[in-house]
Amino acid sequence: MQTVVSGSIVMMGFKVFFSFFLLSFCLLKAQADKDESGAVASFDCEITQTKQKLDKQYFASTPMMHLRVDNVEYAYATLQFGKRKDKIFMYIQIADKNVCIKKEKVLDISFKSGEVITFKNDFALNCEGYFVKQLSKKDFLKLKDNEITQMKVYAYEKNYELYVSESQNYDIDNQLNCLAVYKVKKTDEIKIKNTKKEEKNESSSGT
């Protein structure tokens, strides 16, 4: 019984994480729609950390990317990376109706070299399109150093082929590099940092 309750709490934590960052979709969608044209990469170490906790731990995250689904109309996917302590995670959500994903090897990532790797979903069975993977050092280097051409998510009713553009590959490399050196801070550390920044701004403005 304790295991079931604990699993439910962890699942709720991930749902809170996804819900919080999906709020930024409206602001980023227009920028994502232009990505196919080979536009300059969107992000530059814009790591976000709030007072929220995930599974009782502070976490930081990169900006959300929006990936085109090639084989399903009116569907898209979001891709995001996060960090808790020194662990880096990859989060994907398929935005479509009733996307049930097992806690199994359900994600294929194809690279320009022709190599294909398969990731297991670390998240519990769900029908909300969530895929979560804690990246090992080997996984991290593979994603960072190789150009991705496609991600394929295997769900119960259908499969989703996600297109990854050249500029999004640049963003992935950049975001992983940023997270690798980023130190997740406690809430009071963030507050002190923000206070010092405000004092500096007041001093420079002569107020």
Q: What is the largest CA-CA distance in the chain?
A: 63
pTM, to two decimals: 0.71
Q: Is residue 18 part of a domain?
A: yes
pLDDT digits (tens, 9 = 90+) for 31-57: 333 333 333 444 467 898 877 777 778
Give me the average pLDDT of each 10-residue run along the chain (207 residues).
Answer: 47 50 38 38 70 79 95 96 94 96 97 98 96 97 97 96 96 94 74 54 60
Is there a domain that residue 30 lies in? yes
Q: Please indicate, yes or no, if residue 126 is contained in any of the structural domains.
A: yes
Other C-beta atoms within 10 Å of 168: how many?
22
What CA–CA distance (Å, rounded) separates 33 from 31? 6
The reply to whether 112 falls in a domain is no
The count of domains in the chain is 1
Half-sphere exposure of 147 (CA within 13 A, CB side): 8
Answer whether residue 128 is part of any domain: yes
Residue 176's domain spans which residues?
2-103+121-146+162-205
For residue 116, is it within any domain?
no
**Contact call for residues 59 and 82 (beta carbons, < 8 A):** yes
